[in-house]
Chain A
Amino acid sequence: MNELSMTVRGKDRYKSGVMEYKKMGYWEPDYEPKVTDIIALFRVTPQDGVDPIEASAAVAGESSTATWTVVWTDRLTAAEKYRAKCFRVDPVPNSPGQYFAYIAYDLDLFENGSIANLSASIIGNVFGFKPLKALRLEDMRLPVAYVKTFQGPATGIVVERERMDKFGRPLLGATVKPKLGLSGRNYGRVVYEALKGGLDFTKDDENINSQPFMHWRERFLYCMEAVNKAQAASGEVKGTYLNVTAGTMEDMYERAEFARELGSVIIMIDLVIGYTAIQSMAKWARRNDMILHLHRAGHSTYTRQRNHGVSFRVIAKWMRLAGVDHIHAGTVVGKLEGDPATTRGYYDICREDFNPMRLEHGVFFDQDWASLNKMMPVASGGIHAGQMHQLLDHLGEDVVLQFGGGTIGHPMGIQAGATANRVALEAMILARNEGRDYLHEGPEILAKAAQTCTPLKSALEVWKDVTFNYQSTDMPDYAPTTSVSM
């Protein structure tokens, strides 16, 4: 369907009136994207009867220079350069009525180092465009020239590990539960028990900010008492993500400064604070030697449905540019959405220096990160010690595994819950490094470790049958197939 260009040229192009987008220069099938172009891949679902090429050209137009009618003022500009160019439209496999549209944008369309500007351009207007039933931004290729205008993760995986003095295994965390209602004193108790029991981190939940039951200073003071006490009890560096999310930047800076003053190694923010606030906090974190954790609060409102919104892989790319150190990226086996292949794609985006195109993981472009720091993915939500072999297999080593319920809900108490997770993890890493087939021998490895660890034995017993097997709503459109090479 990628037929020739229909662009009208010369004087006729600028005759007053309405012209189809595909004739205005937004459909250029012969265009070869430059290495400095930003490329976006959209899933376009045109209204019935709308030509997919015209719909895709409209997306290019409405996300760059076009308006609904021809304007003569285009002629005062180098308009051809600024027009986004749709250069390829493919039907989506097994999804009638949906099309993948590849659109190239010149680098000059964007401000350096601004996710707000990038997103205002690419997703600012077009998602409500009437000729489309639905639209989804699936992936983006960010040229090195653009990547280099961003700070990137304030700390990065390697330096985080150096600061925490933890190498060779996933980090362990837990979100304090219940999310709401604990006083500062009670909250600190959970933090102390979990850290002393063997976790590396504890975490505020996304909606723990400063509420009547616990104002933020109470939480920070008691949490740091807990962190320091657990550090002295174990001889290890520990941390708790102090959520500094607040109603204004001024409030967030005040909370972050206080966290630093108290000696916290890490603070946290929620995705809902917005891209500019996130970038500001990332710069603050870099200046203040602070690890920056991001909770992706709210993302499922636009990432989950396959036909409309923005894929989480795009959000992950934006957040790596924006400069957070941790990002929740799915567990595969836990309670929240995430099919294994798609999740693998997200993890690669967080952690690799170069992502090759892997359609089977939903990764549509080669992406060179040009030595930008790596982001630590966080797996949180409905996971427990009995899944350790699967978690290690799916998620690898550079990840924070967060067992909230799986720590605090332990029948012998929070410390025991933390110890069970830590022992399970260390036993699995030991076995993996010894060359054992840990994925298949996982249950045996855990059972063996439980012989000398009662808390693990008890955890395996309580949660042995807990799984969350539901159909994923978001999966890759391509599956690898074998073919005979000639």
Chain B
Amino acid sequence: MRVTQGCFSFLPDLTDEQISAQVQYCLGKGWAVNIEFTDDPHPRNTFWEMWGLPMFDLRDAAGVMMELNACRKVYGDRYIRMSAFDSSHGWESVRLSFIVNRPKDEPGFRLERHEVDGRNIRYTTKSYAVDRPEGGRYGGK
């Protein structure tokens, strides 16, 4: 399966040129881009690990792309996403987020149904990958 979180997951994987254009769009808006990675892509895993801090005060996407490549060297077997933060009053949150790297094989999730009172069911989404400890998923070290 393909995890379809983020803004462009239904399109073919973006090339570096396309990623760079999106980053430039964010920087042009004055947003700070952050590189984040995880090997636990559960839909409610909000806090992916940060690759450094959001890159404030940056003008050129090339700087972000350098960092992305450095991140890929270490965590190329995991999900990596770009998140752009807008500090304007009234927003002060993420404006754009999209996946820029994914594991070769995405095993996906199983849905566990816990039958409770009457016909009610409690649902739990479990990532197949997280059966192994962090770092050991997706064939990583």
Task: Pick the interface stretch among A38-46, A220-228, A295-303.
Answer: A220-228
- A474 shortest CB reach to chain B, Å: 29
What are 17 residue pairs bridging A and B, where the CB atoms are less than 8 Å apart in the complex? A165-B44, A167-B97, A198-B4, A233-B1, A234-B43, A235-B108, A236-B3, A261-B120, A263-B123, A371-B90, A426-B10, A429-B7, A430-B8, A430-B14, A433-B22, A433-B96, A434-B22
In the complex, residue of chain B having the shortest beta-carbon distance to the beta carbon of A233: B1
**Most B CB within 10 A of own CB, among A161, A263, A430, A434:** A430
In the complex, residue of chain A having the shortest beta-carbon distance to the beta carbon of B26: A433
* Residue pair B5, A235 in contact (C-beta under 8 Å): yes
**Most B CB within 10 A of own CB, among A168, A353, A422, A434:** A168
Given the contacts A224-B123, A225-B121, A235-B108, A433 and B25 also touching, CB distance less than 8 Å = yes
* Residue pair B43, A236 in contact (C-beta under 8 Å): yes
- A357 shortest CB reach to chain B, Å: 20
* Residue pair B96, A167 in contact (C-beta under 8 Å): yes
* Residue pair B3, A169 in contact (C-beta under 8 Å): no
CB contacts under 8 Å to A, within B98-122, are 98, 108-111, 119-122
CA distance A371 to B92 in the complex (A): 12
CA distance A427 to B95 in the complex (A): 17
CB within 8 A of A232: which of B11, B12, B93, B111? B111
Q: What string of 1s and 0s marks CB contacts (under 8 Å) between B12-33 and chain A?
A: 1010001001100100000000
Q: What string of 1s and 0s marks CB contacts (under 8 Å) between A159-189 and chain B?
A: 0011001011100000000000000000000
Q: Which residues does chain B contribute within 8 Å of A237, judged by CB atoms?
A: 43-44
CB contacts under 8 Å to B, within A399-438, are 419, 422-423, 426-427, 429-430, 433-435
Q: Is A19 an interface residue (CB 8 A)?
A: no
CA distance A264 to B97 in the complex (A): 24
* Count of residues in B whose CB is under 8 Å from the partner chain: 42
Q: Which residues does chain B contribute within 8 Å of A224, judged by CB atoms?
A: 121, 123
Given the contacts A161-B93, A228-B111, A228-B123, A235 and B10 also touching, CB distance less than 8 Å = no
Q: Which residues does chain B contribute within 8 Å of A232, judged by CB atoms?
A: 108-111, 125
* Residue pair B125, A231 in contact (C-beta under 8 Å): yes
CA distance A228 to B108 in the complex (A): 14
- A71 shortest CB reach to chain B, Å: 47
CA distance A196 to B98 in the complex (A): 19
Q: Which residues does chain A contribute within 8 Å of B8, judged by CB atoms?
A: 426, 429-430
* Residue pair B43, A430 in contact (C-beta under 8 Å): no
Q: Which residues does chain B contribute within 8 Å of A419, judged by CB atoms?
A: 10
* Residue pair A430, B11 in contact (C-beta under 8 Å): yes
Q: Which residues does chain B contribute within 8 Å of A262, judged by CB atoms?
A: 120
Q: What string of 1s and 0s marks CB contacts (under 8 Å) between A233-265 and chain B?
A: 111110000000000000000000000011100
* Residue pair A162, B93 in contact (C-beta under 8 Å): yes
Q: Which residues does chain A contribute within 8 Å of B3, judged by CB atoms?
A: 234-236
A232-B125, A263-B123 are known; give 17 further A-B pairs, CB within 8 A.
A161-B93, A161-B94, A165-B46, A167-B96, A168-B98, A228-B111, A228-B125, A236-B3, A236-B4, A236-B5, A236-B43, A262-B120, A422-B10, A423-B11, A426-B8, A430-B11, A434-B18
- A147 shortest CB reach to chain B, Å: 14
In the complex, residue of chain A having the shortest beta-carbon distance to the beta carbon of B28: A435
CB contacts under 8 Å to A, within B116-139, are 119-123, 125
Q: Is A358 an interface residue (CB 8 A)?
A: no
CA distance A449 to B10 in the complex (A): 10
CA distance A435 to B97 in the complex (A): 18
CA distance A224 to B122 in the complex (A): 10
Q: Is A158 an interface residue (CB 8 A)?
A: yes
* Residue pair A158, B10 in contact (C-beta under 8 Å): no
- A263 shortest CB reach to chain B, Å: 7
CB within 8 A of B11: which of A228, A234, A374, A427? A427
* Residue pair B10, A434 in contact (C-beta under 8 Å): no
Q: Is A452 an interface residue (CB 8 A)?
A: yes
In the complex, residue of chain B having the shortest beta-carbon distance to the beta carbon of A353: B90
In the complex, residue of chain B having the shortest beta-carbon distance to the beta carbon of A156: B90
Q: Is A133 an interface residue (CB 8 A)?
A: no
Q: Is A229 an interface residue (CB 8 A)?
A: yes
In the complex, residue of chain B having the shortest beta-carbon distance to the beta carbon of A449: B11
CA distance A420 to B3 in the complex (A): 17
CB within 8 A of A235: which of B4, B83, B97? B4
Q: What string of 1s and 0s marks CB contacts (under 8 Å) between A431-460 and chain B?
A: 001110000000000000100100000000
Q: Which residues does chain A contribute within 8 Å of B21, judged by CB atoms?
A: 433-435
CB contacts under 8 Å to A, within B49-95, are 83-84, 89-95
* Residue pair B95, A430 in contact (C-beta under 8 Å): no
- B41 shortest CB reach to chain A, Å: 6
